[in-house]
């Protein structure tokens, strides 16, 4: 394994099928998804004026999909570097390693599906932005 830090990246899954019958995409743990999946959750009916996120994770890794609608995600590294991603295809996910502050905006019909590397643990969250930024100094 590389000594370089992990960085966010888009993961495009194969689309199987066609317009006549529809499509199927598959995400398998430790193949398309670069970790063992320990938790799956989804959010929906998020009003489009609401900004979600406002936290980081210490070690939790995620692959986030917009299975419907559009989700714009802003990720900030502890160094202060900000990257923006737009998820608008159900076969494209965003890999988010630990240590990235996130802000998310949803279209009115967006459904976010998240594959997570860990079970829920409130202690693993970083919810104070100033504390997050201090860790990067």
Would you please indicate which residues are annotated as catalytic (active-site) residues?
A: 55
3-class DSSP state for residue 28?
A: coil
3-state helix/strand/coil string of the chain: CCCCCCCCEEEECCCEEECCCEEECCCCECCCECCCCCEEEEECCCCCCCEEEEEEECCCCEEEEEEECCEEEEEEECCCCEEEEEECCCCEEEEECCCEEEEEEECCCCEEEEEECCCCCHHHEECCHHHHHHHCC
């Amino acid at each position: 394994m590389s000594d370089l830090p992990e960085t966010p990246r888009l993961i495009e899954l194969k689309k199987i099928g066609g317009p006549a019958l529809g499509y199927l995409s598959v995400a398998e743990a430790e193949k398309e998804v670069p970790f063992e999946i320990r938790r799956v959750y989804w959010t929906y009916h998020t009003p489009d004026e609401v900004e979600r996120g406002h936290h980081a994770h210490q070690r939790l890794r995620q692959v986030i999909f917009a299975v419907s609608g559009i989700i714009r995600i802003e990720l900030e590294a502890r160094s202060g570097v900000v990257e923006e991603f737009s998820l608008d295809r159900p076969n494209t996910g965003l890999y988010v390693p630990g240590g990235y502050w996130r802000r998310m905006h949803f279209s009115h019909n967006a459904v976010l599906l998240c594959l997570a590397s860990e079970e829920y643990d409130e202690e693993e969250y970083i919810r104070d932005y100033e504390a997050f930024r201090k860790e990067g100094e």
